[in-house]
Amino acid sequence: MGKHVLVIEDEPNIIEAISFILSRDGWRVDTHSNGHDAVETVHAKAPDLVILDVMLPGKSGYDILRELRADAQTQALPVLMLTARGQNKDREMAEKMGASQFMTKPFSNADVLACVRALVGAG
C-alpha cells in the first residue's frame, strides 16, 4: 500500500496545507514547485501518487500530465489535478489527458484526504 505523495504546486499556502493534511495521515510528502523539471522529479522521487497543479511556472500541469502518460514508467501513476479554474473545459481537458481525479481550489481537507486514499487504495 502506497504512502508516498509528490505535491507539484507553486503556492506555499497550498503546499503547506496539503503537506500537513497528508503527513498527519501517515503519508510521506515530497514537494516540487515548478514545471520545468517536474517530470524528472517524479522519476527521481518515485511517488505512489502525484498531486499536480494546472498552472505552474515553466510548464503547465497539462503538459506534465501528457508527458507522464506518454512514459511507460509513469503512465499508470495516479494523478490528482488541482486548479483554481473549475470550468468544465478544464475538467474535460484533464480527463482527456488522463488525470485520475480533478479538484478545484479551494478544496476541503477531507476531500483531499478521501481522494488520495481512494486513488492509492489506502482508504
Give me the tens of pLDDT residue by residue for the chain, a chain 123 residues long. Answer: 569 999 999 999 999 999 999 999 999 999 999 999 999 999 999 999 999 999 999 999 999 999 999 999 999 999 999 988 778 888 888 999 999 999 998 999 999 999 999 999 854
Separation CA 28–CA 71 (nearest Å):
24
Which domains occur in the chain, in start order?
A: 4-120 (3.40.50.2300)
Can you give the pLDDT at residue 2? 63
**Running DSSP on this structure, what letter comes out for residue 35?**
S
Residue 8: strand pairing partners: 32, 52
90 sits in which H/E element: helix 88-97
| Cα within 13 Å of Cα(69), Cβ side | 15
Specify whether the CB–CB gap between 120 and 78 falls below 8 A. Answer: yes
Q: What is the pTM of this model?
A: 0.94
5 sits in which H/E element: strand 4-8
